[in-house]
Amino acid sequence: MVNGVDGQHDANGASAPVAQVRTDPLATFPAHGPYAQMVGWGYVTPRKVVTNNDLANIVDTSDEWIRQHTGIVSRHIVTDESETSATLGAQAGRQALDVAGVPPQKVGLVICATSTPTHVFPSTASQIQDDLGCINAGAYDLSAACSGFVYALAMARSAIVAGDAEYVLVVGAEVMSRFVDWTDRSTCILFGDGAGALLIAASDVKGGIGACELGSDGSGGDLLTLPAGGSARPATLETVSSGEHFIRMDGPAVFRFATRVMADATRSVLQKQGWTLDDLDLVIPHQANSRIIQNSVIKQLKIPPEKVFINIAEYGNTSTASIPIALCEALAEDRISPGKNLVLVGFGGGLSWGALAVNWSVSQQDVSRHWWQGARQQAAYRAGAARSMWRRVERRFASRRDRS
């Protein structure tokens, strides 16, 4: 075949390169839906920015050292007591609903992945559900440390495929700065605050969230932990004075674990999905450390750097929020478009890890809204807030009647 991809020679008789044939990305999805599509997204970070130079005034470090060893330049942290994982998560969730043009009353489930819940209970997800007016939604928190957002997306997909919800709001929200010892240079340089959210919808369009790989190794739980505050060591004067309510990490051990498991999880989820590395358009890894990303998915899997999205420089490690924040920025930079094959991959305390294959289906043009659609969204939020307030008033009157 002259000038063809199957023939061995071109018109001049010279050897012609064989074109790479991509796998049909939808071939391994079920023949029939519903499929779990990502239709809305959003993220938020606090206004306060802490630079490496700021940290150099607090602990024995430098901007050059932090950049070289982590890739981090700055991070955002909360400064107002009213800012919590719930308030940040609600802001990100509202953006996701607005992008999709879906009123909060249609959401059937809210899942919040967080390592820094606003309270032990009620759940942060319940507070987000109330703040947004998702009056018909169940809500729960999911705890899998920095792997949590991938776990939550897997749970959302299961709910969609089972027919239990038409829309699932998945939130990753963290206020890491309140659990960091700002005199410990091994941890305070790493973490930042923020929240990201994705709205997952039941769809007849083939694609969306595909195969997933979830794993855990509890034998390494002590490598990355927050020792006190749970039922094993409830808060006491002793636990507070000894700093047991701050993050503790064995950095070298976590680094070794992360570089291995990020590559392994990516390989595994590609195999489950029936994709090859050549089928992959973009990897969105957990943004913990640029060296971990370089030594895992880039070097071990030989994935070109341009196919790996990294934005850790501005935000640091935002734990469960890092993947959705990165995904939102990749969308803003037009790195994601319909038909693109993605892998979201993360690791965290537990020890835990997770990866998801995604065939993206939503066009940026699909999210443009008329003014009246925005007004409808705002009316839906106000209606939800009014209903929540009325329920509180009803409970107060009921309590007074009980006392009388």
**pLDDT digit string (tens) for 230-268?**
999 999 999 999 999 999 999 999 999 999 999 999 999
Catalytic residue among 317, 328, 341, 359: 317
Catalytic residue among 134, 188, 212, 286: 286
Residue 317: active-site member: yes
Dihedral pair phi/psi, residue 75, rounded to 5°: -150, 155
Give the model confidence (pLDDT) of 134-183 as tens digits. Answer: 999 999 999 999 999 999 999 999 999 999 999 999 999 999 999 999 99
Question: What pLDDT does 283 receive?
Answer: 99
Which residue stretches of the chain have pLDDT < 50? 1-11, 15-18
Collapse the DSSP code of 220 into the 3-class scheme (helix H, G, I; strand E, B; otherwise coil) and give the result: helix
Closest CA to 72 of 57, 58, 90, 53: 53
Which two tokens mark 340?
């693109």
| Structural contact between residues 330 and 323, judged by C-beta atoms closer than 8 angstroms | no
Sequence-distant (6+) residues with CB within 8 A of 2 are 9, 10, 11
Dihedral pair phi/psi, residue 134, rounded to 5°: -80, 70
Beginning with the edge strand found earlier in the chain, give each strand of the sheet holding 35-44 in spatial order: 35-44, 193-203, 167-175, 109-113, 138-142
Residue 245: active-site member: no
Question: What pLDDT does 14 receive?
Answer: 52
CA distances in angstroms from 87 to 126, 186, 387, listed in the order given = 12, 28, 19
Sequence-distant (6+) residues with CB within 8 A of 39 are 99, 100, 102, 199, 200, 201, 203, 362
Question: What pLDDT does 2 receive?
Answer: 35
Catalytic residue among 112, 134, 146, 328: 146
Closest CA to 65 of 77, 53, 76: 53
CATH number of 35-224+249-362: 3.40.47.10
What pTM, to 2 d.p., does this model score? Answer: 0.91
Question: What pLDDT does 374 receive?
Answer: 76
- Give the separation between CA 153 and CA 199, rounded to whole angstroms: 10
The single residue listed with the structure tokens 């007849």 is 204
Residue 295: active-site member: no
Question: What pLDDT does 3 receive?
Answer: 36
Question: What pLDDT does 4 receive?
Answer: 38
Question: What pLDDT does 397 receive?
Answer: 81
